Structure formats: C-alpha cells, structure tokens
Chains A and B, each alone.
Chain A
C-alpha cells in the first residue's frame, strides 16, 4: 500500500486519482471528528468536504515536513474553530434556541448535554479549545497533541487542565 507522502507526490505530479485515494483513506477519521462536534451528519459531511477542498489546493504546495495525518488534523481543528465561532454568533442571535435533534442519539438530554459541552468549548481560549477538542473528540495522547500544536507535552497538559476546570464549572451550573 502506498504511503500518504507517495500519494501526495503523485498528486503533485498531476494524478488526481491519488488525491481521491487519500480522501478515501482519511474520510472516516475526518468525518468522525466532525460528527462528534456537530451531532449532525449533513453538517459533518459539509465540514469534511470543506477541509478536503482546502486540501486539494494546499497539497500542491505540501513540503513533506510533517505527516499528512498531522497536517490534516490541523486543518480539521481550524475548521472546527470556524464552526464554533459561527455557532457562537448563531446562538447570540438566537437562531437555534432549541438543541438540534441528532440522528444518532435518541435521548434529548444527551443532545442537550452535548450542545452544552461544545458551547462551553467554543468559549475557551484558543489554545485550550484546541487541546480539549483533540483530547475529547479524538482521545489523543498528549504526545500527539503537543506534536500537532508545536508545544511541549507539559504545556498541553496545563492547557487541558485549565480547560477542563472551566468546562466543569460551566456544566455544573
């Protein structure tokens, strides 16, 4: 099986099928990441699509300095930040006062808790938001989080600790 880097090289040489192969390979992780955020399959698919459209352009200039998985994950995080910001405005203008009914959870309370959790995440400072997103949504080890964010492992732990404290207070209110 070809590595991600090999597929990217082929794509840079003009083989679009290699890009498609890359999308197929990383679609489950990317989609899984966004579905946890949105609890809405249409929205998750749209976000995944946006990320891969950006990748189509960005990969032409990819410099092979990092793993593609890390690169893609950074893009996912950026996209989720945009989504959270957009939702913050939506909530501010009361465009969706009632939590959306997710397709996979039948319990209304679960949905409400999930919405409350991600609303809380949206209000965290950027670095804490990123760490907690990776930890909660992807269950990533601190080592991987620190690699992706370019910070030390300790810094990732401290940021996570502050984020969890803030979220705990919010959810207990």
Chain B
C-alpha cells in the first residue's frame, strides 16, 4: 500500500449527510442572527462616531478655559459681581434719564425687580 492510499485510509470516514431542509433552516436563522449582530455593531460605532464628532465640535466653540463656564454656571443668579452691578445701575440711570416717560421706565425697572426701585416702592407704600 503506497503512502497516498495509507493517508486516504487514515482520513476515511463513513458519514451521513445532514438533512438538507433542516440544514437550510438553521443556515438562514444563523445568517439572520449574524446580520442583526453586524447591524448592531455598525449602529453602535456610528452613534459613537456621531457623539465624538458632535462633542468635538461643541468643545471647539468653548473658550480656552472651559472651567470659566462651569464656575459661572454654579454661581446663583441673584448674586452679581461688582462690575455687573455697576453696569446695571449705570444702565438704569441712563434709561431713566433718556426716557420720555419716567413713570413708564420706573414701572419697567420695578417689573424686572431692580432693587432700588422695588425698595423705593415698598417704602412709599409703608
């Protein structure tokens, strides 16, 4: 017996081919499963890429120091720093001086709860 026949004898197997219909059914089931899995991965990667790009774009619009935004966000709205307070007072003074109808301007300032006007009104009521 030559070596080729010996190899063939070693690898010889008796087998029964699986049923064609059930093989095909399993095949399509597995194919669908793999397709769904693949689509899940693609969607995941697309979403991640979108978030990354969107994040990068919005981060670029911030100033050099994003901490400045964070610190402002944490500050209560009622508390104004000195510079802002001075600006608001100047603005109120300008509005009063330049308005044609001073009462209307005062009513507006009262409306936005500008402190000196509110105090003045309350004292007047008392």
Selected contact of A39 from candidates B3, B7, B13, B27, CB within 8 Å: B13
- CB < 8 Å neighbour of A53 from B3, B7, B31: B31
Please tell me if the beta carbons of A23 and B13 are within 8 angstroms of each other in the complex: no
Contacting chain B: which of A6-14, A64-72, A102-110?
Answer: A102-110
Contacts of B17 in A (CB 8 A): 27-28, 31-32
B14 on interface, CB distance cutoff 8 Å: yes
A32 touches B15 (CB 8 A): yes
- B1-33: which residues lie under 8 A (CB-CB) from chain A? 3-4, 7-8, 10-15, 17-18, 20, 23-24, 26-27, 30-31
A99 to chain B, nearest CB (A): 13
Verify A27–B20 contact, CB threshold 8 A: yes
Chain B: interface residue total (CB-CB under 8 A): 20
Docked complex Cα distance between A27 and B18 (Å): 8
* Stretch of A76-84, A89-97, A131-139, A147-155 on the interface side: A131-139
Whether the Cβ atoms of B11 and A53 lie closer than 8 Å is no
Q: Which residue of A lies closest to B20 (CB)?
A: A24
Given the interface pairs A45-B18, A104-B14, the reply to whether A27 lies near B23 with Cβ below 8 Å is yes
A41 to chain B, nearest CB (A): 7
Contact of A36 with B26 in the complex, beta carbons under 8 Å: no
Q: Closest Cβ of chain B: how far from A32's Cβ, in Å? A: 6
Task: Assess whether B3 is in contact with A168, with CB atoms less than 8 Å apart.
Answer: yes
Q: Report A-chain residues with C-beta under 8 Å of the C-beta of B20.
A: 23-24, 27
Bound complex: CA A164 to CA B4 (Å): 8
Residues of the A chain whose Cβ atoms lie less than 8 Å from the Cβ of B15: 31-32, 35, 41, 44, 104
Contact (Cβ within 8 A) B3 A49: no
Given contacts A27-B20, A49-B27, A53-B30, whether A114 and B14 have CB atoms under 8 Å apart is no
A96 to chain B, nearest CB (A): 19
Q: Which residue of B lies closest to A44 (CB)?
A: B15
The CA-CA distance from A41 to B15 in the complex, in Å, is 8
Cα A31 to Cα B66 in complex, Å, equals 63
Q: B8 — which chain A residues lie within 8 A by C-beta? A: 136, 139
The yes or no answer to B37 lying at the interface (CB within 8 A) is no
Q: What 0/1 readout, one digit per residue, does chain A (115-154) give for beta carbons within 8 Å of chain B?
A: 0011000000000000000011101000000000000000
Interface centre among B8, B23, B34 (most CB of A within 10 A): B23
Question: How distant is A109 from chain B, measured CB to nearest CB, in Å?
Answer: 10
Query: Given the complex of chains A and B, what is the CA–CA distance between A36 and B7 in angstroms?
Result: 11
9 tightest CB-CB pairs across the interface, nearest first?
A24-B20, A28-B17, A35-B15, A136-B7, A36-B11, A113-B10, A20-B24, A117-B10, A53-B31
A–B complex contacts, Cβ < 8 Å, 9 sampled: A32-B17, A44-B15, A48-B23, A49-B27, A53-B30, A104-B14, A110-B10, A114-B10, A136-B4
